[in-house]
Structure 1
């Protein structure tokens, strides 16, 4: 049996990658580190999506934001630019039928740093001056994008589309983490927040011993900011792949 490849994305996003890895002969294990839940009250999101008058830019901070928004609105005016952070979000748009053939989509050119800063470098901020922007995001997150668009002269509305939480560390999860720490597992980490949560779980499992065991595992990460976080948290074997499943799979396949 090959060494486990642990996919830590939220469950809904992890399944397609797990299927591809299994087909390639990997032992893909789902161990979600974040849960994505719909908001009990979606009235604010529904209202924001219903009124697109004057909106020139809709920025989605994650695939979760895209899924939540597209569940309420299936068609988007071609004149509205849809801004996303990386290849995972482009794939999410495509799942909802939105591609370059029927929508105006922009994303960072640098696939190793797909974040608000590199997205801002891609946008034509001068052309957007004086127009409306809608940012679809979780209940919490960085304010960089909204602040920068306001500074560029845009009228910005931010609307929450979902909430994130750390899954309960119940007995079944404790047994699974202990099993994964006891073998030569490799971990796909797609969130710095999730990685910190994983360290907390290891500490709760068996104190410093489990933390050290986790820090010795190989991590595969799609973003330089996650790589920086991982190294600051004591991980030494960190492979940076860039954005998208293809890059993650290529990194796994290249291991001797």
Structure 2
């Protein structure tokens, strides 16, 4: 395999390093990068406004990376009286490492559709739910909690910014390197990857690559765009991606 990893740094570089240790040809090609969010200064007061047994949702490791300094820099800690949820294992571990709190996450599959099926989230009427995320993103979690009677608020902890590349030049570069496997971890990046390259590169090369994604929702989007060989990893962390590539167990 010749593998192109499109997830952001540093996770892309870490995955490429591990792939190369298994003897694979792999390159990092991050499609987005991150900057601090516009609402970080609101986070301490929003946490203070939560009551015992209210809910905090952390939707990515990047939210942890930017949110925790916003808390510690004003001399605060993550309240022990709240219930914390993460979208996946890696995010849960990152949040636990900085907060010391117990973090619940969906073990079956690391997606919002599974998170909202957790038994403890079925009866949330009258409780506040603070969702820590990036700019934009899916609304499924917030809408579901709202429909169940929770008072939902979002905090933009970081912003995703598209990295700019010259599509024709990149198409020639990756075709010359024989890329035949792509790793994509979000719908936003999948759309960006598809739109980046000229039609000739999409038809002759890109859509013929094996595509590794992290959810059935992304697999459906990929097939709608024209990919035929699509593999769904069991999670979005690098261990799960390596397992999907049949390189790690």
Q: Give the TM-score normalised by structure 2.
A: 0.85
* Aligned residue among 2, 5, 22 for 1:4: 2
Equivalent pair of 2:54/2:128 in contact (CA under 8 Å) = yes
Task: Answer yes or no: is the 8 Å Cα contact 1:222–1:242 preserved in 2.
Answer: yes
Instruction: Give me the whole-angstrom Cα distance separating, in 1, the residues matched to 2:216 and 2:90.
Output: 16
Unaligned 5+ runs, structure 1: none
Check the 8 A contact 1:58/1:82 in 2, yes or no.
Answer: yes
- 1:1-256 matched pairs, under 5 angstroms: 3-39=1-37, 42-49=40-47, 51-54=49-52, 56-73=54-71, 75-93=77-95, 96-97=97-98, 102-111=100-109, 114-170=110-166, 175-182=169-176, 183-203=178-198, 208-212=199-203, 213-243=205-235, 244-253=237-246
Q: How far did residue 55 of structure 1 move?
A: 5.9
TM-aligned CA distance change 1:21 to 1:78, over 3 Å: farther
The answer to whether the 8 A contact 2:8-2:31 is kept is: yes
Gaps of 5+ in 2: none
What is the Cα deviation at residue 174 of structure 1? 5.0
Residues 67-87 of structure 1, C-alpha deviations (whole Å, 9 max, x = no match)? 221232364233322211123
**TM-score (norm: length of structure 1):** 0.83
CA RMSD of aligned residues (A): 2.4
Task: Please list the CA deviations of residues 67-119 of structure 1 after superposition, one character each: whole Å capped at 9, or x if unmatched.
Answer: 2212323642333222111233234335x345xxx4222222322xx322211
Partner of 1:169, secondary structure, is coil
Aligned length: 241
- Structure 1 41/224 Cα, relative in aligned 2: closer, same or farther at 3 Å? closer
Note if contact 1:187-1:218 (Cα within 8 Å) is conserved in structure 2.
Answer: yes
**SS of the residue aligned with 1:77?**
coil
Contact 1:45 1:160 in 2 (8 A): no
How far apart, CA to CA, are the structure 2 residues paired with 1:21 and 1:254?
8
Distance 2:33 2:139 in 1: 22
Identify if the C-alpha distance between structure 1 residues 13 and 210 changes in structure 2 by more than 3 Å, giving closer, same or farther: same
